[in-house]
C-alpha cells in the first residue's frame, strides 16, 4: 500500500511538472509568433550571429562586448531553421531571422524552469517546494518578458541554474563546467558565482578538494575564451569593451542614490509582482518551524539578494531591468516556502495533482499581475517601423547611400546580410553635410530619422551645402528623407 501511494505521488509530481513546463511555454511562445521588433541590443547580437550563419564569420569579428556563446546558439538556430539557398547564397527574411534568433532563448528558459524545479526539490528535500519554485519562475513577469529573446541573459541564467543544481547535488566538476559556460555567455555571470558557492556551503558539500574540481573545467572555459580572443585578433578585446560600457570603477553620485534605488525597486516588483508581498511574509513566518539547514539556505538566498541589489544600486552599473533576472534564482527558492505554506492553508490535502498544479499556476499568475496589455513588455524596440523602412530602402537603386545616425544595428539587421546599399554614419550635422558634399555622386541619397528626433539642425546643415531634402516616406516612427545633391 505504501508503495502504491508513493508511486501515485511520484506520478502526480511528474504531471504537475509537465503542467508547469506547459504553462512556461505558453507564456513565452507568443513572442515568437507575434514577431515583436528587435530591441537594438537584440539586433546587434542577431547581426553578429547572422554573419556567422550566412557569411561564415564564426570568430565574430568586429566590436563585441559580450562573450560568444549566445551568438553561436543563435547562429546555429539560424543555420538550422532559417537559412536556405537564395540566388546561389544562403539567406533568410528578417522575420525568419528574428524567429531563429529568439528560439534558443525560449529553449533556455524552459531548461531554467526545469533546473529551478530540480534545485528546489534537492535543496529542501520536498518535491512540492521544487514545483512551487519552478512555477514561480515560469510565471515571473520578468522571466516571461525575456524568455523568448535574443538577449544574452537567458543562456547565462540557464547555465547559472544548472551550475547551482550541480553544486547542490555535489557534482562540483559539472558546477564548474556550467559556471564557465555562464561566464562565456556574459561576464555578469560572476555575480551568480557567490550564490552557487553559498549553496554548496549551505548543503555542507564544499571542500578544498571540490573547489579544485570546480576550478578545472572553469579554467578550461577561460582558456577557450582566451584562444578565441587571440584568433579574432581584434584591436580591442571583449573584456575591454565590456568594462568601457559599464562604469564599474566608480560609486554612484549623491544625486543618483534615490533614483537608482527607486529603479531597482521597480525591477524587484517585476520579478514576482504582488506575490512578493504575500509569499515573503509567509516564508519568513514558516521558517521558524523548519530544519536548521532549510533556514540556512533561505537566509543565504535572502542575503545574496540584498547584496546583489546593493551592489547594483551603489556601483554605477547600467540599471537595465534584465539585470534583475539573476535575482530570480534565490527569490523563487525562498518564496517557494511561502507558496507551499499557502497551498497547505488552502487545501485539505497535501497532494498536488495535475489539475491542482494548473489551477495553482493560473492563481499564482493572477497574483503576480500577469503581462501588460499587448503581450510581453521587455525593453521595447526603440524604433517601430524600422523593418518596413528597411524593405523600402532595399527597393532603392543599387549602391544607394543611406545616411543613418540613430538606427544603427536595428537598420543593419533588417536591411539583410546581402544588402547592396551603403549605410554611412556621421556623428554631427556638420560632419554629415561636409561628408555628403565631398562625395562626387549625383544620384539620390537617403537620410533615415526616428520621428522623435529633432531633424531640423541636420536638414539646415545639408541645405547650407546645397542639398535639396524631400520627405520620402514615414513608417510608424521612422522617417525617410531623400537628399538630392547640388547640380
Q: Work out the pLDDT band at 90, boundaries 50, 70, 90.
A: very high
Give pLDDT tens digits for 419-465: 999 999 999 999 999 999 998 887 789 999 999 999 999 999 999 99
Instruction: Return the higher-pLDDT residue of 126 and 328.
Output: 328
Domain assignments of the chain as residue spans, ordered by start:
8-368, 386-484
Instruction: Return the higher-pLDDT residue of 354 and 107.
Output: 107
- Of 385, 335, 361, 303, nearest to 120 (Cα)? 335
Locate 372 and state its grid cell: 501588460
Question: In the predicted model, is pLDDT for residue 174 greater than 90?
Answer: yes
pLDDT at residue 347 in the model: 58
Q: Is pTM beyond 0.85 here?
A: yes
Residue with cell 580572443: 229
Residue with cell 544548472: 162
Question: In the predicted model, is pLDDT for residue 105 greater than 80?
Answer: yes
Question: In the predicted model, is pLDDT for residue 12 greater than 60?
Answer: yes
pLDDT at residue 464 in the model: 94
DSSP string, 80-135: HHT-EEETTEEE--HHHHHHHHHHHHHHHHHHHHHHHHHHHHHHHS-HHHHHHHHH
> What CATH number was assigned to the domain covering residues 386-484?
3.40.190
CA atoms within 13 A on the CB side of 267: 24
Instruction: Return the higher-pLDDT residue of 37 and 331.
Output: 331
C-alpha to C-alpha distances, 281 to 88, 264, 290, 334, 370, nearest whole angstrom: 63, 20, 15, 11, 21
Q: For residues 162-167, give the mean pLDDT.
A: 96
Question: In the predicted model, is pLDDT for residue 193 greater than 60?
Answer: yes
| Radius of gyration in angstroms for the set of CA atoms belonging to the chain, rounded to a whole number | 25
- Of 38, 28, 18, nearest to 365 (Cα)? 28
Instruction: Return the higher-pLDDT residue of 338 and 83.
Output: 83
Amino acid at each position: 500500500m505504501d508503495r502504491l501511494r508513493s508511486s501515485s505521488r511520484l506520478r502526480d509530481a511528474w504531471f504537475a511538472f509537465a503542467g508547469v513546463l506547459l504553462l512556461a511555454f505558453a507564456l513565452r511562445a507568443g513572442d515568437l509568433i507575434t514577431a515583436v521588433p528587435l530591441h537594438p541590443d537584440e539586433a546587434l547580437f542577431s547581426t553578429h550571429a547572422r554573419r556567422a550563419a550566412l557569411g561564415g564569420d564564426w570568430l565574430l569579428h568586429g566590436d563585441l562586448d559580450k562573450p560568444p556563446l549566445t551568438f553561436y546558439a543563435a547562429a546555429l538556430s539560424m543555420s538550422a531553421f532559417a537559412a536556405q539557398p537564395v540566388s546561389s547564397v544562403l539567406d533568410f527574411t528578417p522575420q525568419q531571422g528574428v524567429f531563429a534568433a529568439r528560439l534558443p532563448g525560449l529553449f533556455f528558459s524552459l531548461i531554467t524552469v526545469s533546473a529551478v524545479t530540480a534545485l528546489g526539490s534537492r535543496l529542501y528535500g520536498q518535491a512540492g517546494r521544487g514545483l512551487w519554485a519552478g512555477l514561480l519562475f515560469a510565471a515571473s513577469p520578468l522571466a516571461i518578458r525575456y524568455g523568448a529573446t535574443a538577449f544574452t541573459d537567458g543562456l547565462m541564467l540557464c547555465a547559472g541554474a544548472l551550475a547551482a543544481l550541480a553544486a547542490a547535488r555535489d557534482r562540483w566538476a559539472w558546477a564548474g563546467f556550467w559556471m564557465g559556460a555562464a561566464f562565456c555567455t556574459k561576464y555578469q555571470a560572476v555575480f551568480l558565482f557567490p550564490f552557487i558557492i553559498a549553496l554548496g556551503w549551505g548543503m555542507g558539500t564544499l571542500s578544498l578538494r571540490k573547489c579544485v574540481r570546480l576550478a578545472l573545467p572553469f579554467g578550461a572555459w577561460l582558456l577557450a575564451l582566451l584562444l578565441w580572443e587571440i584568433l579574432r585578433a581584434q584591436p580591442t578585446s571583449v573584456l575591454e569593451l565590456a568594462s568601457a560600457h559599464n562604469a564599474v570603477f566608480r560609486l554612484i553620485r549623491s544625486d543618483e542614490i534615490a533614483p537608482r534605488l527607486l529603479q531597482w525597486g521597480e525591477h524587484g516588483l517585476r520579478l514576482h509582482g504582488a506575490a512578493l508581498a504575500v509569499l515573503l511574509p509567509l516564508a519568513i513566518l514558516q521558517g521558524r518551524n523548519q530544519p536548521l539547514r532549510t533556514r540556512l539556505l533561505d537566509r543565504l538566498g535572502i542575503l545574496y539578494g540584498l547584496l546583489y541589489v546593493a551592489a547594483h544600486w551603489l556601483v554605477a552599473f547600467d540599471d537595465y531591468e534584465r539585470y534583475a533576472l539573476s535575482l530570480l534564482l534565490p527569490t523563487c527558492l525562498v518564496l517557494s516556502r511561502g507558496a507551499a505554506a499557502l497551498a497547505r492553508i488552502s487545501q485539505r490535502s497535501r497532494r498536488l495533482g495535475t489539475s491542482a498544479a494548473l489551477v495553482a499556476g493560473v492563481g499564482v499568475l493572477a497574483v503576480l499581475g500577469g503581462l501588460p496589455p499587448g503581450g510581453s513588455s521587455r525593453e521595447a524596440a526603440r524604433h517601430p517601423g524600422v523593418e518596413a523602412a528597411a524593405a523600402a530602402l532595399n527597393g532603392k537603386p543599387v549602391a544607394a547611400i543611406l545616411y543613418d545616425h540613430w538606427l544603427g544595428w536595428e537598420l543593419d539587421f533588417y536591411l539583410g546580410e546581402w544588402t547592396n546599399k551603403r549605410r554611412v554614419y556621421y556623428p554631427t550635422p556638420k560632419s554629415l553635410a561636409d561628408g555628403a558634399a565631398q562625395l562626387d555622386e549625383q544620384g539620390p541619397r537617403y537620410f533615415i530619422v526616428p520621428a522623435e528626433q529633432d531633424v531640423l539642425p541636420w536638414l539646415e546643415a545639408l541645405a547650407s551645402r546645397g542639398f535639396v531634402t524631400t520627405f520620402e516616406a514615414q513608417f510608424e516612427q521612422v522617417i525617410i528623407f531623400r537628399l538630392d545633391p547640388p547640380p
